[in-house]
Amino acid sequence: MSLAVLELCAGGGGQALGLEMAGFRHAGAVEYEPQFCTTLRRNRPHWNVVQQDIRHLRAQDFSGVDLLAAGVPCPPFSIASKQLGADDERDMFPAALDLVARIKPRAVLFENVPGFASARFQQYRKNLLMSLGKLGFQAEWKILQAADFGVPQLRPRFVLVALAPKDAEFFSWPVETGPNGTVGSTLVDLMGANGWSGAQSWARKADGIAPTVVGGSKKHGGPDLGPTRARVQWHRLGVDGLGIADSAPDASTPDDKIPRLTTRMVARIQSFPDDWEFTGGKTSAYRQVGNAFPPQVASLVGASLVRALQRRRSTSNGRYVEMKLLDASRPLHRNPPLYKPRVR
């Protein structure tokens, strides 16, 4: 039996793709920005992509879905902005909670920046958990580090899961696996795709995992790899973080050149498969990539939710359900089958 998910604030599709990998089918993927909707439709024409502000969504169209998932806008809680929380007009948690109350899903998944876990927002988190409790959910949250789940990037994220008590007892957080490769080993083929003879040497130097990719917002930030602190970390990996390149270095590029990454390279660091297309200009495409929840992490959280909703649990002898990790360099089918978890 397939499980249905309604995805709010779907962005460029990172969380939505991960949940699809875990076995969910999309009753709807809601996104306000037109270009982001174009990306979702380009990659998944069979999805019901709804271009709309979630505050105006018809809840009755999605009544009774199994999971309501949302990566609500992060600026109200991000250290890169003013951290206004509930006083920020971009705070969409109230709208998301209203939809939870009206749609009545079996489970809820909220994802946000790690700043949401800070002491500054303790009361906000308490109110959020109380609201979910009043709706009959048992909620818990955790900071998940992408590098702990096979992604070659730090990227800590606040992840909240809420389930009915009878389902919640079957939920457990994904098992950490550690990083799967370095920036160099992840990108060496893309870096050398245009004949740059320095690609292998560069890859050996780029022997660590990436700092958190910073996508910026519609008002602030452009196609670069983040503020000064992040760019210093990128430079240590042999990457020029001042901008995003249109293409990989070619055969005329000196071997000792410090290259910039392309949008496709950053997408692979985020664990998107290479055939996931990002539409629009460089700035728009990069925002879709940089602000995404890594699909690989979302797939593992999704697998834990599937197990809980099917009321299966990890056993005391160490057996657990683990989704096969996504190899971002290998393309997915346009209409992929539902991936079956393997038990070990």
Instruction: List, by residue number, the catalytic residues.
Output: 74
Q: Within 10 Å of residue 343's Cβ, how many Cβ atoms?
A: 11
What letter would DSSP give residue 282? H
The residues with which 321 forms a beta bridge, in sequence order, are 343
**282-290 helix and 34-43 helix, angle to the nearest 10 degrees:** 70
- Phi-psi group of 292: left, alpha or beta (phi > 0 → left; psi -120 to 50 → alpha; rest → beta): beta
Report the alpha-carbon distance of residue 338 to residue 66 in Å, rounded.
Answer: 16
Residue 161 makes CB contacts below 8 A (sequence gap 6+) with 107, 108, 109, 139, 140, 141, 171, 301, 304, 305
Answer whether 53's CB lies under 8 Å from 33's CB: no
- Token digits of residue 9: 């604030």
Q: How far is CA 179 from CA 63, 185, 324, in A?
A: 39, 12, 14
**C-alpha 335 chain-centroid distance:** 20
What is the helix (H) or strand (E) element at residue 70, kind and residue range? strand 67-70
